[in-house]
Amino acid sequence: MHVSLAEALEVRGGPLQEEEVWALLSQSAESLQELFNKDPAAMGFIISPWSLLLLPSGNISFTDEYVTQQDLRAFTAPEVLEGISLNSVSDAEKVYTP
C-alpha cells in the first residue's frame, strides 16, 4: 500500500511542517540514489506530488503509472516541453547545471 504526496496533502488539508519537508527530501534523495545505482535508465520519470509515493515503511518510491500529462506539465523542464533532444551526457549536464 502506498499514498502519493498529492493524496497525502489533500487529506491533510494543508502544507507539510518544515521537519516533514526535510525528512521527505532526505528520503527522496536516498531513494533516487539507490535507484540510480541499480539502473540509471530507470530514471526516466518526472518527480511531482503525484509521482512521489509514501510507503508505510517510511521510505519513498517514484512512479509514473498513475500520473497524467496534465499533472506533470508544471513539473516538466522547458527543454522537454519544447521537444529539445538531449543527445549527449554534456547536453544533459547543461540542463542540471545552475
Contact 46, 95 (CB under 8 A): no
**Tens digits of residue pLDDT in 5-46:** 989 999 999 999 999 999 999 999 999 888 888 887 777 777
And the C-alpha cell for 3?
499514498
Q: Which of 55, 7, 69, 8 is nearest to 27 (CA)?
A: 55
Supply the Cα-derived Rg of the chain in whole angstroms.
Answer: 15
Give the predicted TM-score (pTM) of the model: 0.68
- Residue 30's domain comprises 3-96
How many structural domains does the chain have? 1
